[in-house]
Amino acid sequence: MKQFVFFILIWGYLVNCTVNGLQFTDCGSKTGKFTSVYVSDCDTTKHECILKRDSNVTIIIDFTLAENVNAVKTVVHGKVMGVEMPFNLQNPDACIGSGLICPLSKTEIYVYTAVLPVLKAYPKVNVIVKWELKDEHDEDIVCVEIPAKIQ
């Protein structure tokens, strides 16, 4: 009987993963909450976004705030086998060129947009893209993990 119950639990988990497709995970948002995430050319029926080398990927994050914020910076890491490696961004100041006009008020809904270059030099690996928007105190406003595969 225990084996049958275990089988049903595992089967239910696998069906849930298959039906739900891509899952964006909150990785420690403190002063905000993302309400939606869009990754260009990403098939959300799959379990990961395909990031093609030698291309640019657009990331759009809609979010709300629990408190006012004066400044926002973007920090992006790729997590491969548990090791975080930084993605270098041309402009980490999220108050310039991303659709955000700082300071930000807790009464608004914000749409953040950025372009991530996927360099040809990147290895073909599975990666968790950790995208953080940090406030002036280096606290995560929004932190989202995006499962991806670099091809």
Three-state secondary structure call for residue 44: coil
pTM summary value: 0.84
Region at 97 (left for phi over 0; alpha for psi -120 to 50; beta for the rest): left
Task: Give the separation between CA 42 and CA 57, rounded to whole angstroms.
Answer: 9
Residue-wise pLDDT tens digits, 101-115: 999 999 999 999 999
Residue-wise pLDDT tens digits, 39-84: 999 999 999 999 999 999 999 999 999 999 999 999 999 999 989 9
Q: Which of 120, 27, 71, 15 is nearest to 37 (CA)?
A: 27
- For the chain, domains (ranges, CATH) are 26-150 (2.60.40.770)
CB 130 within 8 A of CB 84: yes
| Residue 115: how many other CB atoms lie within 10 Å | 14
